[in-house]
Amino acid sequence: MKLSAVILTKNEERNIERCIRSVLSISDEVIVVDSGSTDRTLQIARSLGARVAVREWEGYVKQKNYAVSLARGEWVLSLDADEELTRELAREIERTLSKPAYDCYLLNRQTYFLGKFLEHGWFPEWRLRLFRRGKGVFVDEGHDVCRCDGSVGKIKKGVIHHYSFESLEEHFAKNIRYARMVSELLYKRGKRPGYLNLLLNPTWHFIKVFFIKRAFLEGRRGLIVSASGAFYTFMKYAFLLEMHLKERFGKKVWERE
């Protein structure tokens, strides 16, 4: 078996068919690891021939690595349910694996935002998603980080299309959830936020995305992308500060003086 595609799901009926269909032509098996869907996600996945495993959510890293452990292919392609391979990328993966030069490959991801795919700001976005079985392992709960135990190359033709959210409301709600999750990880690691984290980190994020990564070329969409990322960065450290204050003062931190 040459290639196993592994996908994480929970209530992804709007996305899962698109994701699975994008890998059917190049994968020998599709594995879906679900963490408790209550919609039609599993029904759709099985109807498309995917092998489904249900496992309680224990965090991003454990869930991803568990999905990889189920793969029987020589190579593993890891996707999220809200992603799909473009046809160009699928063809390039197939060509690359016919004579691989590296143990792991970075794939470029492009996010759909307010009516079109971003060309700047959040793009290019290289993610290690394709690797020989046994060579790739997910290591960082707070980020989509896969570590390669070997050589790393890039597949430069084609992209992963990313449909992360359907509205700004959903985008901002996801930012809040993610900022809370990352702040909890930082808290467990003993990180303490200072004024520089709360002030300079968000400012630097905006400058980096809007000017250095040229999100300004996206117009108002680029402004929203840059500002929302800056606000996410601010929330991450604000939540971290809140946890430290609660540790020090308990519930009194929200009581009137």
What is residue 140's predicted lDDT score, i.e. its pLDDT? 78
Q: How high is the pLDDT of residue 144?
A: 72
Cα separation of 81 and 63, whole Å? Answer: 13
Tokens, residue 124: 């290019």
Measured CA to CA, the distance from residue 247 to residue 240 in angstroms comes to 11
Exposure string over 241-250, b if 16+ CB within 10 A, otherwise e: bbbeeeeeee
For residues 117 and 161, is the Cβ–Cβ distance under 8 A? yes
Q: Which ranges in the chain are annotated with CATH 3.90.550.10?
A: 3-162
Query: In CATH, what number does 3-162 get?
Result: 3.90.550.10
Write out residues in the chain with pLDDT < 70, as ranges.
Answer: 141-143, 256-257
Strand partners, 109: 160
pLDDT score recorded for residue 127: 96
Quote the pLDDT of residue 253.
74
- The per-residue pLDDT for 256 is 66
Give the global pTM.
0.92
Give backbone dihedrals phi and psi of 16, rounded to 5 degrees, phi first.
-65, -35
Q: Report which of 182, 168, 186, 181 is spatially closest to residue 228, judged by C-alpha positions.
A: 168
